[in-house]
């Protein structure tokens, strides 16, 4: 989690040569465990003060998507990854909403409902522990193809 916090701090990121990130999966660190860490900052309008620094902050052990929306979503700017040091253009189509079961470090089970950006971040990290990279989900023939009902998140 500390790595993600440092990567989001402009001073620390520059000092340590880090690219900003909001999630990390154990396999990215060459650890064969089903663990992900997510740290999504709270985005606030100019002049507002966030109640909490992070919209989503969790370390999830054995996360599993137990239900999802019919509607799909993709980030308008595409996705990036700490494991991929190049831009891969295209829409990464994912579920707009998911319900995820996971365990915390104390072995307690949790269920969380996510939508929008948080949903995409968690799905991206779960893909890592399942051996799937974000670019595997981009349409090779037409990277910016938009199917009916696709929600583009800006």
Among residues 52, 79, 125, 140, which one is catalytic? 125
d(CA 38, CA 139) in angstroms, rounded, equals: 26
Specify whether 125 is catalytic.
Answer: yes
Closest CA to 119 of 80, 52, 87, 72: 72
d(CA 95, CA 132) in angstroms, rounded, equals: 15
Show Cβ contacts of residue 145 under 8 Å, excluding neighbours closer than 6 positions. Answer: 91, 139
Backbone dihedral angles phi then psi of residue 83, each to the nearest 5 degrees? -90, -10
Tokens coding 13:
């990121």
Catalytic residues: 125
């Amino acid at each position: 989690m500390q790595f993600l916090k440092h990567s989001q701090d402009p001073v620390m990121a520059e000092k340590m040569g880090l690219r900003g990130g909001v999630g990390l999966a154990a396999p990215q660190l060459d650890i064969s465990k089903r663990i992900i860490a997510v740290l999504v900052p709270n985005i606030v309008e100019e002049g507002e003060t966030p109640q909490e620094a992070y919209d989503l902050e969790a370390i999830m052990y054995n996360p599993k998507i137990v239900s999802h929306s019919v509607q799909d979503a993709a980030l308008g700017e595409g996705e990036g990854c700490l494991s991929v040091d190049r831009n891969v253009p295209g829409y990464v189509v994912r579920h707009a909403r998911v319900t995820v079961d996971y365990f915390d470090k104390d072995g307690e089970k949790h269920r969380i409902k996510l939508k929008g950006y948080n949903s995409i971040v968690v799905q991206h990290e779960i893909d890592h522990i399942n051996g799937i990279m974000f670019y595997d989900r981009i349409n090779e023939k037409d990277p910016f193809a938009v199917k009916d009902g696709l929600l583009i998140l800006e």
